[in-house]
Structure 1
Amino acid sequence: PDHLLIAWSSGLLEARAWDTGLPLWQANTTVETWGLTATPTVTDAGLLVTTRTGIELRCPADGTVLEGVETGLGWRNPASFVNGTAYVGDENGRLWSWTPGSPASFVELGGAIRHAPVHVNGGLLVHVQVERASTVEWLALGADGQPREASQVHSFPSGASPGMPVALSETLVAVADFSGVHLLNWTAEGWNSTRLTSSPVQGPLRFEAGHVTASENGPNGGFLAFDVAEGFAGVTIPSNLRGYGTAPPVACGEAWLLVKDDGVAVLEPEQSGPLCPLSPTSSPAPEGTSVDRSPAVWTLSLMVAFLAGSTAAYRRGPLHGLRLASPFLLVALVAMMPALMGWWVEQVPETQTEPVWDDTWPEAWREGQVVVFELPNETLAVGGLDPRPSVLESTLAAADELGVSIALEAHSLGTWVTAVDGVAADGWVYEVDGTRPMVGPEGFALDQTSVIVWRLA
């Protein structure tokens, strides 16, 4: 490959040299709360980029826009490109079709589509997410490349929080959700289904080197691999790396590259041989202990201020002594500020409130994060959200689910929420699991099942 393409949630799209990592070009895309949340697709016509509100066809050499079209609001929705036509889903369950040079059109399916439509048996498979469930749909493609209505006999009920399906052959596809992984084989009468595992998989399925791979998404989740040539027999991936995660194992020679949500990457086995040049290792911690020199600075400054002031006061009076000592006193005060701030934070107790779980909420919400907005005239809540690392990220995801607008304002201390659904008043504060943190929403790390409550200050 000539380029390594990287899409950022800030809206930045960049290409880097695959061997050196040096930047080749950068381009900015439309930002709608978030920037890019979907993987770009390389096609013969160019680079197909899905923004939050549309599709762009860009030049792979420099990133310039060749053509573009607006679609519905999307989230983690890469596009597919089949016979010159692009297909993409959105958060309203619309399956969009766009042939460059022509206007876009769509078919209504309901729910949310958060993966690239899969080309199967001359049609498109989409895994539509609805509340606490999902449905696999298949739509035949007409001679004009436009999807027809969803086939009733190919509507397959599935579990909550679907992953991203992958085609294994012209008629065989693997799908995943919270209830496990299924093989679906297309027939004219409907799908022939086979369950491969009951482990929850809510990320992409990968098919390479004769294996279907996935990551178990759970507190002790490991990795899954199935050997296609051996009738999809399970393959053991020996690794101590466990936990929440959605990234599937990637084959590297005879080894597997593994990663979980905590950001640790490992290679199993570590001695992977010449077919895999990778050797991910942890960066060694710097030797020695960092020394805080601020106490020495303010102590020395106070001593100099005392000596200089005393000498000046003795010779020319108290006013001259104070004038000469003032700069040194200011230096001492600045040097003491970090220690004073740390002491102040330790003295301020965290605000404790009552537990926030509401017994009227669905039990399925306990399996993910919950976000609540207490508006003046109503309370909006959504739960069972895919785990996100910070309060801000989970809040924005919940706002997308509920169709609520969020106004943000950047400060030197971080990003703050200033309005929810147009309501600003005196600002908004948040609590996590009944505790009001002393940091901004982008700086507070969440657990996998945290409950976040936003209310007016």
Structure 2
Amino acid sequence: MNKMRIIATFFAVLLFLLAPISAAESNDNNWTSDLTQQWNIDFEAVYVSTKPIIVDQSIYVRTSSSTIDNGVPTIYSLDFSGNQQWGVTNPNSTKQDMSPILSVSAGNGECGNWPDMLLIGWSDGLFQALNPTNGNVIWQHSTEFLNWGITGKATLDGDSIIIPTRTGIDKLCLDGVLEFSQKLGLGWRNSPTALNGEYWIGDESGTLWHVSANQSVNSHSIGEGKIRHQPLIIDDDNLLIHLQLPSESELKLLDTTTGELTTVTKLGPSPAMPETMGQYVITADASYVTLIDCLENCQAINQVPFTSNGEISIIFDEYIVLPHNSQEGGYGVFAISDEGELYQLDTLNFEDDWYGTAGLSGIERNGQKQILVVNDNANLKLLSTDYVLTLDSSNADSNWTTIIAMLLALILISTTSIQLLRERFQSAFKFFILFITILVYFSLGDIISAWADIVEDSDNSDPDDVWSESWPDKWLGTQVVIFEFNDGLTETGGYVGHEDVLELTKQATSEQGIDLEISDTSFGKYVVSIDGKSGDGWEYYVNGQAGTISADYQSIDSNAVVVWKQL
């Protein structure tokens, strides 16, 4: 009986130690509550009305503006630490730049060949293909300008790109050569649909234009309203069109083979850009988010109260995210139940929320869900379900060490079990102690990180309390680093996107040409000397508060003052 009790107790303790692993797996469905902000970039007086895109290890985002005084519309390239890689502006822009960025991989077709590109439509009618690495222009094409130029999303069709011009469409090979140009009706934020080598696009008078492969043109009157969104393809030969009316909107279904037009449902005013998700269509307006089932005949299933008038995003293949276009701002996260009904899963809100029409982008990196969030305040944020370091050679070595240690731990567990079954309790206890030692050693980083979170939550420090009037205004709202040597000060600022004290310090010392010596310990990384000066050591302060953990575990906000003092 004593033998069985000891064995039962051992496995109970083991289950308790391994429980966090299963708990972490079960938390995957609650990822929105696990999101933490990694960085926040303020592009100042401009705004962002189209979602950022992610290509490989880079983020691309475009800003827009209402007047030249508020800033020049720009295409930015950033890395995942929030550092700017390049920026491209168009001095001739009319400021209303809302055409989404398109990414195209290198390829070839019947009409030519092309490299990796970013395709950009500008409000003055200019259409550019940019090099994703440096922002250089690969080719460009000018379209007509009538108060505005390109305001809608271009459409890829094989080896060609279909551009929505102010009054029609232009078709170009992806190498930049014009194939044809067709005048149609006056458009605003309208996008073409490619269907079997033919093109469909709406205009401001409620007309749906059809351009065939031989460039012949015909049209269908959808109603006395405006078509400002791309028609959606349903069952290969039907098009779903959201018609905007003065005080409401209507969802129409057009059979492209017979020309039959039916009304699916009446909806609210100022519709968002509808999006497909398998058999479903999700649309939104000033009153509701609506789920449409088009498995057989398109029909409205249910509605959820919510105000959204912009882009609808489908992320991680199952979540529907819409910007809340109100002063309160934020995002609504929706999902479709097993019974086929739409429901709101969560709401994402932030301190700098404001009106917004841009969607968000989501990606899974290193097993973590990450999203990019923007709004009309021109704030771009990266949020993640966990903090993920970029892998380098030292990380790779550490991963191999971890794998070997886990294999050793597995061997120790097995050996402990065998010794228990043989009633060699003293020997089993020794192996179990070794297992616990390994477990604690490799959990130390998580323990320190958890302690850092507790300390951070209780920290009420404010960077304004340590702000110096002698610092330049351009440092306001950024990260500042001060090195207090025994014989003088070195001050530097204007940094953005750094998540912890050590990362910021490395960047600052690198730019200032200062040598930095770091000691890597089990409790984290500690600064040994700065600019060759060690003294009795170095300690850091964040917004006037002394650091209590190693610099690599101390997270910082986008607006922070870090001071290093020589002891």
Matches within 5 A, 1:224-243: 224-228=332-336, 232-233=342-343, 234-237=345-348, 239-243=350-354
Query: Residue 18 of structure 1 aligns with which residue?
Result: 132
Alpha-carbon distance in structure 1 between the residues aligned to 2:470 and 2:168: 50
Query: Residue 260 of structure 2 aligns with which residue?
Result: 149
Query: Residue 166 of structure 1 aligns with which residue?
Result: 275
Say whether 1:56 aligns with 2:170. Answer: yes
Query: Residue 128 of structure 1 aligns with which residue?
Result: 243
Asked if structure 1 preserves the Cα contact closer than 8 Å seen for 2:329 and 2:349, the reply is no
Say which of 446, 451, 471 aligns to 1:288: 471
Larger helix proportion of the pair: 2
Matches within 5 A, 1:32-47: 32-47=146-161
1:187 Cα offset (Å): 6.1
Asked if structure 2 preserves the Cα contact closer than 8 Å seen for 1:69 and 1:103, the reply is no
1:91-131 Cα distance to aligned partner (Å, 9 max, x none): 00001111232311110012100011001123100100011
Q: Call closer, same or farther: CA 1:274–1:88 in 2, change over 3 Å.
A: farther
Secondary structure in 2 matching 1:243:
coil
| Structure showing greater relative contact order (alpha-carbon pairs closer than 8 Å, 6 or more residues apart) | 2
Matches within 5 A, 1:442-453: none
Alpha-carbon distance in structure 1 between the residues aligned to 2:212 and 2:470: 58
Alpha-carbon distance in structure 2 between the residues aligned to 1:204 and 1:48: 20
Asked if structure 2 preserves the Cα contact closer than 8 Å seen for 1:120 and 1:172, the reply is no
Asked if structure 2 preserves the Cα contact closer than 8 Å seen for 1:126 and 1:136, the reply is yes
Alpha-carbon distance in structure 2 between the residues aligned to 1:17 and 1:235: 38
Query: Residue 378 of structure 2 aligns with which residue?
Result: 263
Structure 1 gap segments, 5+ residues each: 277-284, 291-457
Structure 2 gap segments, 5+ residues each: 1-104, 106-115, 392-467, 474-567
1:287 Cα offset (Å): 7.6
Query: Residue 187 of structure 2 aligns with which residue?
Result: 74
1:193 Cα offset (Å): 2.0
Asked if structure 2 preserves the Cα contact closer than 8 Å seen for 1:162 and 1:202, the reply is yes
Say whether 1:199 aligns with 2:309. Answer: no
TM-score (normalised: structure 1):
0.56
Q: Which moved more, 1:220-229 or 1:46-55?
A: 220-229
Secondary structure in 1 matching 2:260:
strand
Q: Call closer, same or farther: CA 1:23–1:228 in 2, change over 3 Å.
A: farther
Q: Call closer, same or farther: CA 1:190–1:21 in 2, change over 3 Å.
A: closer
Aligned residues: 275
Query: Residue 505 of structure 2 aligns with which residue?
Result: none
Q: Call closer, same or farther: CA 1:204–1:275 in 2, change over 3 Å.
A: farther
Q: Call closer, same or farther: CA 1:113–1:236 in 2, change over 3 Å.
A: same
TM-score (normalised: structure 2):
0.45
Say which of 259, 273, 285 aligns to 2:388: 273
Alpha-carbon distance in structure 2 between the residues aligned to 1:119 and 1:51: 21
Alpha-carbon distance in structure 2 between the residues aligned to 1:286 and 1:10: 42
Alpha-carbon distance in structure 2 between the residues aligned to 1:214 and 1:96: 29
1:26 Cα offset (Å): 1.7
Query: Residue 222 of structure 2 aligns with which residue?
Result: 109
Say whether 1:219 aligns with 2:331. Answer: no
Q: CA RMSD in A?
A: 2.7
**AA paired with 1:218?**
S
Asked if structure 2 preserves the Cα contact closer than 8 Å seen for 1:6 and 1:14, the reply is yes
Q: Which moved more, 1:131-140 or 1:225-234?
A: 225-234
Identity of paired residues, percent?
Answer: 28
Secondary structure in 1 matching 2:294:
strand
1:159-190 Cα distance to aligned partner (Å, 9 max, x none): 00011101112x32011110121110136565
